[in-house]
Amino acid sequence: MNPELTRKLELLASNKIAIDKAFFLEMGISQVIGGLLFASAGKEVDIERLKESKKILSKRKGIFSAFRDVAELVITSRMTLEADPEQYLSDLEAVFDVLMKGKVMEDSYMVITAMIIVDRGRKADAEEIRDKTNEIMRRMSKEHPLLTSSEDLALASLLAMSGRDIDTIIEEMEECYKYIKKELKIKADSNSVQALSEILALTGGSMKAKCDKVAELFNAFKEQGSKFGTYLEFPALGTLINIDVPAEDLAGEIIEAADFLKKNKGFGGLSMDRKTRLMFAALLVGEVYTEENTDENVVNKAVITNNALALAIAEEVAIMVVMMCVMTSNNN
């Protein structure tokens, strides 16, 4: 296994344990994404600085703010990685306020979108990016009204920042969606196929060729007895298509990385299912093979954060359902 990948896997595992000890009330998936952000930066988590970032956020944002729900640990982790956490939060708030113009309900995906804009150094262009993102979302909703939601905001903002014109973006996304569904016949969740189409539309080149690479990777996992997920995990394959490694070798390394994670606390069968573990391994492998601050690396980090947030929200909903069932049972 790639030595740099091994180092980052070890960092992820140790960071997850450290965060779990200090923030044991946070959901497991949030702890993983926090640990992953530090591991991606090649750093061990600084728990004291992380606690200080949490205090800063708590003073600035009320308990019902979108900054304080499932995205809180993601935000405080990013703050901690900055030399000036307070300034980073101020920048995040400023961009978030721009994105919120004309809207009533805020949510975690909008916070993550603001984070992507700040991290790309595009704070000054926030209004322009917002307007183009909104138009992309409108056009996406026209094509797929039941699939398009706030989950698409982060990737739509990356599309807005890509410099590509909206007509081309929408045409290529639709080409990808139909090709995956009707010709390649990959039985993936429709929302995830749309997310994959957003990732692949970020760059030029033949859309069918890019989709074929995704299918090749997907089949390589299946052939090695470790089928890749077809739900929230599926779009992660789109971050791997530009890696110059044969599909079978790349899949093998990701499977090996996932097996490595499984041996660590918080990543075993009782804490994380195999498909989620493969997704995180794939995203970390993708990051190791792409240079820092490249477009591919930015997309990889966005997918990591967005997918983990979606999983955290799904987990939170599941917990709420269980609580409601318990309450109903008690009342009866």
Integer Cα distance of 280 and 112 in angstroms:
18
Domain that holds residue 192: 162-332
pLDDT computed for residue 105 by the predictor? 84
Q: Does 242 fall in a domain?
A: yes
Residues in the chain: 332
Q: Does 87 fall in a domain?
A: no
Q: Does 101 fall in a domain?
A: no
User: With a threshold of 0.75, does the pTM exceed it?
Assistant: yes
Of 53, 81, 109, at which residue does a domain stop? 81
Q: What is the pLDDT of residues 122-132, one digit of tens each?
A: 999 999 999 99
| Tokens describing residue 1 | 């296994």
Of 54, 81, 108, at which residue does a domain stop? 81
| Tokens describing residue 80 | 């901690």
Integer Cα distance of 103 and 97 in angstroms:
10
Q: Please list the pLDDT of the chain residue by residue as tens digits (332 residues).
A: 888 899 999 999 999 999 999 998 777 788 888 898 899 888 999 999 999 999 999 999 998 898 988 888 989 999 999 999 999 999 999 999 999 998 878 888 899 899 889 988 999 999 999 999 999 999 999 999 999 988 899 899 999 999 999 999 999 999 999 999 999 999 999 999 999 999 999 988 999 999 999 999 999 999 999 999 998 889 889 989 988 899 999 999 999 999 999 999 889 877 788 998 998 898 888 888 876 545 666 676 667 666 666 666 665 544 433 333 333 334 44
Q: Are residues 173 and 264 in the same domain?
A: yes
Q: Does 187 fall in a domain?
A: yes
Q: Does 231 fall in a domain?
A: yes
Of 243, 239, 244, which Cα lies nearest the Cα of 303?
A: 239
Considering its fold, how many domains does the chain have in total?
2
Q: Does 181 fall in a domain?
A: yes
